[in-house]
Chain A
Amino acid sequence: MKYLDEYRDPEAARQYAASIRRIVTRPWTIMEICGGQTHSIVKYGIDELLPREITLVHGPGCPVCVTPVELIDKSLQIAARPDVIFCSFGDMLRVPGSNSGVASDLFSVKAAGGDVRIVYSPMDAVQIARQNPDKQVVFFAVGFETTAPANAMSVYAAKQSGVTNYSVLVSHVLVPPAMEAILSSPANCVQGFLAAGHVCTVMGYTEYAPIAVRYRVPIVVTGFEPLDLLQGVYMCVLQLEQGRSEVENQYARSVRREGNRHAQDLIARVFRVVDRKWRGIGGIPQSGLGLADEYAEFDAQNRFGLGDYSAQEDSECISGLIMQGARKPHECSAYGKRCTPDHPLGAPMVSSEGACAAYYRYRRLRTADLPQAGGGSE
């Protein structure tokens, strides 16, 4: 496929890896905050290609993982109602709630007879609402800024065309506040960032300049394919070696400095910035999106009268530390034993983008540990 396959070229990947090796002189810790990037790194074994001086840590880049457990619980309550068709992206189906008396995840609600449907686009959910006027259709609007334009359009379109039986359960999170929270933590060990390429496709990257300056960290807007990640790491390491802390754009084939203005406009109309709690991390002010007043009637929490409540996280899983990059998944004592994708204790083990699940699924053995399979590697 054009504009994908070329960025998976093994020879070019080796060359980038070699170039990184040539310029690195000391250890560096670089974080990516993007589940898609985590997925790609682990799937292609990219960190295996990097010199040992480079430590790649996976930040809270999985909106599924950081959705507050209270919201998961609310989604389960809503989805279990007989008058509701609950629509969601596939990612959310297996995220565990707090297990306080309700079915443990959306998949279980579905198994117990709830009408839970996976959709590709929020517009599909609006269509389902049109086709089922006697039901309430609720869409689980989860995501970073990348998905906000689509979710915004679904609410806008529903209002415009009078689809009143549609509502959204919103769990949108924003990247820059999360980066600041990580960088301002006293335990921070991150020295450079790969910024999420599709988030920046929508939002541009002007918000990152003040962060780069204030915390003196290089930030490289990076794509998702192996060559993108390797070039992004190279550019970041080069800055670190040269003592620079600027914002650079590796993913220029998709990202413009100002981003997509049309998308930003509609996001600003339909949503407003709110404080948000991040599962495993805690509250980060002004780090999420909620519906603007004009669209409040589409808020599923209002429509179904689900007030504020706190749920206790059942597990003391260290997902927070993992998402802040302070620990790697295999450093958790439950990892792979009591906590696996089959019986996860926390969200990063459930979502295929979660650091723990990505590690577990694509669990790599270092090539040196494996007896040669016949045919040299590299």
Chain B
Amino acid sequence: MCLAIPGKILSITGAEFARTARVSFGGIVKEVSLAYLPEAQVGDYAIVHVGFAISLVDEQEALQTFEYLKQMGEMDELEPTGKRA
């Protein structure tokens, strides 16, 4: 559980529980409910599961996976941990 993928919000219509968006997933466009993401705006990326947007992708945090790797690389250069079994 659970297949949810990021898509880009192209346009929004409706309000509250009936608020929906056209979302593009690599060029495929599907209508998605924004009932649970009232703060979503056009241009945002949302994580979508079974036709519902459940979170917005935080662009800053998205980079963190790569920042972390870079930091690890830098740390290893400075100071090898040398704890190999």
Please tell me if A138 contacts chain B, counting CB pairs below 8 Å: no
Q: With the chains together, A34 CA to B4 CA distance in Å?
A: 12
Interface string of B25-49 (1 = CB under 8 A from A): 1100000010111100000010101
Q: How many residues of B contact A (CB 8 A)?
A: 41
Contact between A63 and B81, CB atoms less than 8 A apart: no
- Of A15, A147, A156, A198, which contacts B69 at CB under 8 A? A15
Given A252-B61, A262-B35, do A144 and B69 touch, yes or no (CB 8 Å)? no
Please tell me if A192 contacts chain B, counting CB pairs below 8 Å: no
Q: With the chains together, A196 CA to B49 CA distance in Å?
A: 14
- Of B8, B38, B52, which contacts A2 at CB under 8 A? B8
Kindly list chain A residues whose C-beta atoms are within 8 Å of the C-beta of B2.
34-36, 143-144, 146-147, 196, 198-199
Query: For residue A251, which residue of chain B has the nearest CB?
Result: B61
Q: How far is the CB of B4 from chain A (nearest CB, A)?
A: 5
Contact between B54 and A1, CB atoms less than 8 A apart: no
A window 1-38: CB within 8 A of B: 1-4, 6-7, 12, 15-16, 19, 21-26, 34-36
Contact between A231 and B33, CB atoms less than 8 A apart: no
Q: At the interface with chain B, which of A71-79, A118-126, A288-296, A317-325?
A: A118-126
Kindly list chain A residues whose C-beta atoms are within 8 Å of the C-beta of B80.
22
Contact between A149 and B55, CB atoms less than 8 A apart: no
Contact between B6 and A146, CB atoms less than 8 A apart: no
Given A121-B50, A254-B57, do A147 and B65 touch, yes or no (CB 8 Å)? no
Interface string of B58-85 (1 = CB under 8 A from A): 1101101110110011001000110111
- Of A34, A153, A196, which contacts B52 at CB under 8 A? A153
Given A3-B57, A123-B33, A153-B52, do A227 and B62 touch, yes or no (CB 8 Å)? no
Contact between B65 and A7, CB atoms less than 8 A apart: yes
Q: How far is the CB of B5 from chain A (nearest CB, A)?
A: 7
Q: With the chains together, A378 CA to B82 CA distance in Å?
A: 23
Kindly list chain B residues whose C-beta atoms are within 8 Å of the C-beta of A62.
1
Contact between A25 and B85, CB atoms less than 8 A apart: yes
Please tell me if B15 contacts chain A, counting CB pairs below 8 Å: no
Please tell me if A43 contacts chain B, counting CB pairs below 8 Å: no
Contact between B73 and A15, CB atoms less than 8 A apart: yes
- Of B47, B73, B81, which contacts A23 at CB under 8 A? B81
Q: With the chains together, A273 CA to B31 CA distance in Å?
A: 31
Q: How far is the CB of B54 from chain A (nearest CB, A)?
A: 5
Please tell me if A53 contacts chain B, counting CB pairs below 8 Å: yes
A window 73-91: CB within 8 A of B: 89
Kindly list chain B residues whose C-beta atoms are within 8 Å of the C-beta of A34.
1-2
Kindly list chain A residues whose C-beta atoms are within 8 Å of the C-beta of B76.
19, 22
Query: For residue A227, which residue of chain B has the nearest CB?
Result: B65
- Of A16, A26, A227, which contacts B85 at CB under 8 A? A26
Q: How far is the CB of B42 from chain A (nearest CB, A)?
A: 16
From A24, A124, A144, A147, residue with most partner B Cβ within 10 Å: A147
Please tell me if B51 contacts chain A, counting CB pairs below 8 Å: yes
Q: List 19 A-B contacts (CB under 8 A).
A: A2-B6, A3-B6, A15-B69, A15-B73, A22-B76, A22-B80, A22-B81, A89-B50, A121-B50, A121-B52, A143-B2, A157-B17, A198-B54, A201-B54, A201-B55, A202-B54, A250-B65, A260-B54, A263-B36
Task: Using A36-B2, A146-B2, A201-B55 as known contacts, list a sample of 5 further A-B pairs with CB atoms less than 8 Å apart, ordered by residue number in A.
Answer: A6-B66, A26-B85, A36-B3, A150-B50, A153-B33
